[in-house]
Amino acid sequence: MTDFLTGDLTVPHGFFTRAGGVSRGTYASLNCGLSGMDNLDHVAENRARAARAIGAAPSQLLGIKQVHGSRVITATAPWAAGSGPEADAMVTDQPNLALGIITADCAPILLADATKRVIGAVHAGWRGALVGVLEATIVAMRNLGGEDITAVVGPCIRQPSYEVGPDLHDAIVAHDNANDRFFSATGRDHWQFDLPGYVAARLKFCGVRVACLPHDTYANETQFFSHRRRTRRGEGAGGHQISIIMSA
């Protein structure tokens, strides 16, 4: 059975774990990423299971080619799996469309104005957050009539697991000195970075209500895929979880 987490959103949605799929090996089991070396039939089945778990038709599940940028797509109709444009966020006001975001340490953010029936889904690593993907998503939702927007930041790598060097620290702090509060020094030129805290702060600045789920993708191998954990072990390619929101 697929396993997913939910937040304080009154529309169908789920932050899926790695449980309940058909993939094997380093992709076991609910790998929903299309860009790896997993069996594509297995990935299609996993994505279909995740879609159906929140009441969406698999044919209505949309994905994008995520590139750590700030581009937002306004979806008006479904497209074929794997043919989505390069972007890191989607919004829609069309009923029954399901927006899917793939992550393996970056933050998945699901957003909704349930009254206006406007939803959004964002992939936010530190680069995308820094260049404004969150703010661009809020603008796109408001262009569709969204006003009272709630966001939930899903499972991602959390501060105790996220040691970074001066490139990341300096880029974030150079944008705003107040961002130093999202770093905890661990030694010379090393810090632990609070990615969900940083993401949440930028959303709150836009007037959005935000909640963060507490799960750490790096620390919890049983529940989540993690790119950093896999890389540090030298394990090569591996799986990605999906987070989905559907317009009602």
Q: What is the pLDDT of residue 236?
A: 87
Is 225 within a domain? yes
| Mean pLDDT, residues 116-145 | 98
Q: How many domains does the chain have?
A: 1
Whichever domain contains 22, its CATH number is 3.60.140.10
At residue 223 the predicted structure's pLDDT band, cuts being 50, 70 and 90, is very high
**pLDDT tens digits along 93-117:** 999 999 999 999 999 999 999 999 9
Is 183 within a domain? no
Over 90: is that where the pLDDT of 188 sits? Answer: no
Is 181 within a domain? no
| Mean pLDDT, residues 69-83 | 97
Closest CA to 127 of 193, 83, 216: 193
Q: What is the pLDDT of residue 45?
A: 98
DSSP string, 202-221: HHHHTT-EEEE---BTTT-T
Q: What is the pLDDT of residue 100?
A: 98
Contact, 26 vs 36, CB < 8 A? no
Is 179 within a domain? no
pTM of this prediction?
Answer: 0.98
Is 61 within a domain? yes
Both tokens of 180, joined, read 């130093």
Is 12 within a domain? yes
Is 246 within a domain? no
At residue 230 the predicted structure's pLDDT band, cuts being 50, 70 and 90, is very high
At residue 187 the predicted structure's pLDDT band, cuts being 50, 70 and 90, is confident
Contact, 121 vs 64, CB < 8 A? no
**pLDDT tens digits along 45-70:** 999 999 999 999 999 999 999 999 99
Over 90: is that where the pLDDT of 180 sits? Answer: yes
DSSP string, 185-203: EEETTEEEE-HHHHHHHHH
Is 136 within a domain? yes
Provide the domain limits for residue 117.
7-158+194-238
CA–centroid distance for 51 within its chain: 15
Mean of per-residue pLDDT scores for the chain: 97
Burial profile 4-14: b = 16 or more Cβ within 10 angstroms, e = fewer:
bbebebebbbb
Give the Cα separation of 81 and 58 in Å (integer).
10
Over 90: is that where the pLDDT of 2 sits? Answer: no
Give me the percent of the chain exceeding a pLDDT of 70.
Answer: 100
CA–centroid distance for 199 within its chain: 11
Over 90: is that where the pLDDT of 239 sits? Answer: yes
